[in-house]
Structure formats: structure tokens, C-alpha cells
């Protein structure tokens, strides 16, 4: 009887073992915006789990394969990222240029650069971070903004992710 129970428990353990791996993983992008007060240089990085990106490619690039191996899908993804993320400093749009793109097995990383006046490092900042919110209803995008030794975080959730959020100017 005990041997039979041990066999049943072991069999159930083997059947249930994969369940944590199959659990739902949340959807989100971690972005970091840095403004150099000395030069006015702006850097923006986005880190996205690859398990969020590849399925989304079916909607982002419907005529391409849903794979980061497809150059057409990657080009559509680059356009999508610039369309769904925007940054304004002191009321002016910061033009971002893609400096580097890393397509890893676990993570996709975008690195952008831009420029503002060094005097604007203290100015008001407005961010729109709607990446993948039109695809994943539970999308949560976190944007950390670093300037003058201060980091502030903005969080963009699901359907409200397209609404810009602002940080007040830093007083001297």
C-alpha cells in the first residue's frame, strides 16, 4: 500500500512539475532615460523580454514571420518602437536615433541617443511609453528617468499607456 502511494505521488510530481514553467509571465518593458547635464546628451534604453516580442510580431509585422530571425519583422519592430515611445524635454520632441539593437535569446534591447540643450537637463519632461500595450492588455512599462543625480520612475499600464506622463522641472 505504501509502495503504491509512493508511486502515485511520484507520478503526480512528474506530471505537475512543468506547471511553474508554463505559468503566465507578465508583459512589460523596462526603459531608462538618461540626460547628461554637461552635454545635453540623451540616452534611452528599452529592455523587452523576447517572449513578449516574438508573438507580438504577428501584429507589428503581419507580412513577415513572427521571428526575430526575419529582417523584415525586425525592421517593422524598429519603426513600431519609435512610434510607441516618445520623449519631450521642455516641450520639444527629442529626436531619437537607434544606436544599437541586441536580439538576445531572452531579451531584446534597444539603445537610442538624442540631444537636448544642457540647460534643459532640469526642464520638464514628458514621456509616452505605449510599447506593446496595444497587443498585451496587461502590459506594464516602467520608465526610469535619470538626470542630475536624481532618478524618477513613471509606470504606464495597459490601456492608459498611450497617455503621456510628465515630470516637473528640477529646481536649482
Q: What is the mean pLDDT of residues 164-172?
A: 92
For residue 57, the tally of other CB atoms under 10 A from its CB is: 22
Residue 89: pLDDT over 60: yes
Among 109, 105, 162, which Cα is nearest to 131's? 162
Q: What are the φ and ψ backbone dihedral angles of 4, each rounded to 5 degrees?
A: -65, -40
What pTM does this model have?
A: 0.83
Output the pLDDT for position 14.
47
Q: Which pLDDT value is given to residue 136?
A: 86
Delimit the domains of the chain by residue range: 25-167
DSSP classification of residue 171: P
How large is the average pLDDT for residues 107-136? 96
Q: At 95, phi and psi to the nearest 5?
A: -75, 120
Amino acid at each position: 500500500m505504501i509502495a503504491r502511494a509512493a508511486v502515485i505521488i511520484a507520478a503526480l510530481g512528474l506530471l505537475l512539475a512543468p506547471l511553474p514553467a508554463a505559468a503566465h509571465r507578465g508583459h512589460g518593458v523596462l526603459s531608462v532615460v538618461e540626460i547628461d547635464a554637461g552635454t545635453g546628451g540623451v540616452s534611452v534604453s528599452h529592455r523587452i523580454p523576447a517572449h513578449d516580442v516574438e508573438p507580438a510580431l504577428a501584429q507589428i509585422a503581419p507580412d513577415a514571420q513572427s521571428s526575430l530571425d526575419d529582417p523584415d519583422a525586425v525592421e517593422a519592430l524598429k519603426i513600431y518602437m519609435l512610434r510607441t515611445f516618445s520623449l519631450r524635454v521642455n516641450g520639444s520632441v527629442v529626436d531619437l536615433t537607434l544606436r544599437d539593437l541586441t536580439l538576445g535569446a531572452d531579451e531584446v534591447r534597444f539603445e537610442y541617443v538624442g540631444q537636448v540643450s544642457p540647460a534643459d537637463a532640469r526642464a520638464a519632461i514628458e514621456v509616452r511609453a505605449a510599447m506593446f500595450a496595444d497587443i498585451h492588455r496587461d502590459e506594464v512599462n516602467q520608465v526610469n528617468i535619470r538626470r542630475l543625480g536624481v532618478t524618477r520612475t513613471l509606470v504606464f499600464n495597459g490601456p492608459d499607456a498611450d497617455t503621456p506622463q510628465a515630470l516637473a522641472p528640477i529646481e536649482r
